[in-house]
Amino acid sequence: MNLQVKDGNIFASIFDKRDTFDFPIVNFPTLTGNIPEDGSYGVFTGELVRYARACTFYADFKSRTLLLVEKLKTQFFVNKKLKKTFLKFCENHILLIQKYGSLIRNLHNEW
């Protein structure tokens, strides 16, 4: 977690040291194996919850989410199912994401 203090307020975002490594890291399931698909998309939801809890600003949540989506797509996650899972996340976690305003509902259009 990256914390900043400005004008007496604390702002949080996510810092992941793995982003700075110069080699690929497989830290999410790949759908080429013999694993349940629904649980794999649940990993996406879990990460979205983690991002929403840790990121004060929409821009931070957005950048982490877009990076995650690109990574999951390289691991054979289906774009249509990712979008459906994202919208379900928005519906089920409205209190968690309301701080970002209505822009978040259209984030799935950017991937």
Positions of the chain with pLDDT lower than 70, given as ranges? none
- Decide: 82 and 73 in contact? Cβ < 8 Å: yes
What pLDDT, on a 0 to 100 scale, did the predictor assign at position 49?
A: 98
What are the pLDDT digits (tens) for 36-61?
888 899 999 999 999 999 999 999 99
Which candidate, 72, 55, 76, places its Cα nearest to that of 64? 55
Q: How many Å separate Cα 90 from the centre of its chain?
A: 12
- Decide: 90 and 104 in contact? Cβ < 8 Å: yes
